[in-house]
Structure 1
């Protein structure tokens, strides 16, 4: 899978060597592929078909490059390259296809069509059924739906208060759907995403589908914190009680992440042979802790009404100036450490992967300041197989959930808090909410374009998920505002969609995340694959495991079981 066979035929009277590099590998040193003896000798090699490769044939006797070409090879193809002499002793390299390759995207296309057909059926069948409910009493029985407000506090907020007859505030449906959509994509990519490279994390700089999920979760945490704390503060919940709640949730998230991250069936609950400290839930827990403190100490219990004040159009920003000051100071700290901190044997401000990248000049400088700080704090108790290891041949461990990136995780969550403040300040003014979401998306999108220069590797600060770079945060903030705004319009304003099926895992996100992390690679969620030469079975397994967790979340929703922390 994702491999092709290259056979080189040397018809020269001298020995040649073949080297290669990937176009995705930034300024990488050419790596040896095969060595060919003279006079009709041949050699074969398997190559990756994920990215375009540059292949270079060099003469050992002349110390000269004979030919070089760029080519994207297809999965399962067999190719022959004939190195032949021509006039004036200038060799040429001709490429021939011996076996036609497979179409690696055919399974993905079939799966997309089947899911589109299924979604259409789920939309059309209820629509046709509702059209039949013409009489009032039939509408009351068949077409009654729940109303959702904007207070995203807990899963049971839809119940009516006993003995008072007053309905408790309920959840923002679009936010639950956004959370469930993010979680569903996360489960799919954690199951391998069908083996497609664009459903896996980028080797270093750049964005893939897998790189979108974590920032969405952080953004949603920020929005939920504002909505939930605003509701609790209006109900008179004291600051001390809020601090207890914050501390308990943070400790539980961190411990869950620590235990399940280091779980090993062979070594027991904790794998002492390799104890990784940073992790996804640990970062989410710490980010939640900081954002909650911001909202607890510097949040607004009541919205002041100043009819003719100059800051009315931006009161959701100016009234929270202490929070903004803290976030700006945190970002300045990130910039200073990243670009000004001296690192032994590495250039100051280095953001590369090390290894064979950057012409092989900084092989042990993976991640620059971020990697150096993590090694100083955690030693070898970090992630030992970073996404850059395969392509850049790095040898240093690097953790994408490290200390320095957590600063920008807090900044990302604060952007989500801004989305929640907009909903509170402009409640029942849907046009204002959507317009402000659009304005924030435009500002953040332009900022990302400037910082990255609209390139993958050549910007001031490249978009990089491993480092949680500033350009990555503002880029993902742009996507988050657009996606949440779109869902808010379709679900909460127009009511065209109820959020199914994503709303179900969105309301039980902790259960689904922990469950798929703990049991995801056991039957019936996965099995030992027999056909590994193509994406068909791999994609089926990824979709099957994801669908099972969505089904489990739906059954728990029907049973009104919601795992809360």
Structure 2
């Protein structure tokens, strides 16, 4: 009798399916009884399925290897060996856990000569129970195979749907509350209780104030404030959105692969947020420095503030956020020197100094409106800055593609390990990794890069390393350019949005050329680990579009207040440092009943992220802002 088969040969007999179910209960390496409450064999981890390999081949041992679709030009990895069947009509069965995140290819080999073994491409479902039956086909040299679903996998994406519905329910409740606020007596009472005073003029962003006039200066009386000088909420919302996604993915993102950093080339949600944070930092630098220069603040004084702020960011990243701070005083032997805040601090310093050296204050009533290069004035007036940035980019290209790295080909951009068919196992990151290991030392850079799991790399590699910082400066400079657009086209909404759109298109075209619209086949693939130039242009394309959308909804049409992202955007350093330091403490983390459940991880990570949003809201109401 034929069984329900999926595969490349004739269907298996019914008794195979029955045997498979019983073998699943006491499979080698997975010998615990089946846990019906969690619908998976105990011993399986998250993002795994159970595969029972049935070898019906007489007098021939079987070897199964596997390869993930997401592992580019990788070597096959051994999965399991199955001994020969010694009894006619019966199979030798071995159980093994297989990856369920991505489709995989199974490659079969036997000990007999002249056999043709198939390759099976299949996407296993999480906690599913499968049988792979291998036997002779119609001929003695042709091997047939069949995949049988013994027990259906769970739908691991359902928790995302439930979370979405819950948050939509909360949003609906808040919307109804907003409708009640339209009633004058209710609105007046709530605003009297909850808005004792305007707080916007007391706030100064810790990464550069995005105000059109610096509101924190004690020398400027409150009466000088006008509507045109009010803070651009869209910038704080953009920063807050980036920060909240960053907190969520840092906490684990529910253990979903698309909420984690990409193993090497390509983009996931987690790869978007840090560049956006850098971008909006550049925008804030442009606006805040212009405001202070208009008030004739000393450039030397501003330089001193930039140096101090950069130093504090670097110090916080080294001493507080570093995961080694709990290993003992300083822990110099294995202290990680690069990091997120360290890169932010250095990037901030370079871009701020670049702006101070070449920038001139843009007056309220610009006298250059009638100049022949009006349409390009925000670029042409700052051509020395562009020369500097282009020089930096040429430096990055030269080091990346021309530097001689021992044991590696010039211009290598791969992950090493089993990538590139295992030819360059110790070349992770090419020139970028080599420079960090040479200048910083292997113990002082990140020891567990995202390439470890998929590409099985063995050398340390830091995604916030030295060479990639060049392109983070470029990313901040594009944000600086967005700030100049706000300055030169103040209150000209169509001009601002059209220029954002043009910049987005230009960045997108450059990315398309560099990547050939491909994940792995381009001249320079988009790669967060390398912070490649195509990664910067791609994320800049998205950043200009997203800023355009938020600006239109918030500052132009005023259809959205920016909640809840506005509040963490106002206290970004506090939220970032706080979520790193208190990550493993209740209520941000607790002992889970089932640590192999996407649902429990997602609930924990969303609760932790939501708590930080609530904390930032309460701090906003109390007028508490941590600036450096």
Per the normalisation by structure 1, the TM-score is: 0.95
CA distance in 2, matches of 1:268, 1:489: 50
For 1:372-419, what per-residue CA distance to the aligned partner results, in whole angstroms no more than 9, with x for missing partners?
Answer: 111101111111110001111111100000000000000000000010
Once superposed, what is the RMSD of the aligned Cα atoms? 2.4
Residue 416 of structure 2 corresponds to 354
User: Alpha-carbon deviation of 1:268?
Assistant: 3.0
More displaced stretch, 244-253 vs 138-147 = 138-147
Q: 2:386 aligns with which of 293, 306, 324?
A: 324
Q: 1:113 aligns with which of 161, 165, 169?
A: 165
Residue 11 of structure 1 corresponds to 56
Q: 1:29 aligns with which of 54, 72, 75?
A: 75
Q: Is the 8 A contact 2:248 2:605 kept in 1?
A: yes
Residue 545 of structure 1 corresponds to 608
Task: List alignment gaps of at least 5 residues for structure 2.
Answer: 1-45, 86-90, 202-207
**Cα separation, partners in 2 of 1:373 and 1:136, compared to 1, 3 Å:** closer
Q: Is the 8 A contact 2:515 2:522 kept in 1?
A: yes
User: Aligned with 1:88: secondary structure?
Assistant: coil
CA distance in 2, matches of 1:138, 1:514: 36
Q: Is the 8 A contact 2:57 2:84 kept in 1?
A: yes
CA distance in 1, matches of 2:360, 2:372: 19
1:434-473 matched pairs, under 5 angstroms = 434-473=497-536
Q: Is the 8 A contact 2:310 2:349 kept in 1?
A: yes
User: Alpha-carbon deviation of 1:285?
Assistant: 0.2
CA distance in 1, matches of 2:211, 2:151: 59
Whether 1:210 aligns to 2:270 is yes
Whether 1:420 aligns to 2:483 is yes
Q: Is the 8 A contact 2:103 2:123 kept in 1?
A: yes
Structure with max Cα Rg: 2
Q: Is the 8 A contact 1:262 1:274 kept in 2?
A: no
CA distance in 2, matches of 1:432, 1:373: 43
- Equivalent residues, number: 564
User: Alpha-carbon deviation of 1:530?
Assistant: 1.7
Q: Is the 8 A contact 1:158 1:167 kept in 2?
A: no
Per the normalisation by structure 2, the TM-score is: 0.86
User: Aligned with 1:411: secondary structure?
Assistant: helix
CA distance in 2, matches of 1:137, 1:30: 68
Q: Is the 8 A contact 2:468 2:530 kept in 1?
A: yes
CA distance in 1, matches of 2:372, 2:626: 45
CA distance in 2, matches of 1:330, 1:84: 61
Q: 2:346 aligns with which of 261, 275, 286?
A: 286
1:144-293 matched pairs, under 5 angstroms = 152-153=210-211, 157=215, 165-167=223-225, 169-264=229-324, 266-293=326-353
**Cα separation, partners in 2 of 1:136 and 1:363, compared to 1, 3 Å:** closer
Residue 295 of structure 1 corresponds to 355
Task: List alignment gaps of at least 5 residues for structure 1.
Answer: none
Q: Is the 8 A contact 2:74 2:455 kept in 1?
A: yes
1:68-87 matched pairs, under 5 angstroms = 68-87=119-138
For 1:248-272, what per-residue CA distance to the aligned partner results, in whole angstroms no more than 9, with x for missing partners?
Answer: 0010000000112434475235334
**Cα separation, partners in 2 of 1:273 and 1:529, compared to 1, 3 Å:** farther
**Cα separation, partners in 2 of 1:269 and 1:117, compared to 1, 3 Å:** farther
User: Alpha-carbon deviation of 1:146?
Assistant: 6.2
**Cα separation, partners in 2 of 1:64 and 1:261, compared to 1, 3 Å:** farther
Q: Is the 8 A contact 2:286 2:355 kept in 1?
A: yes
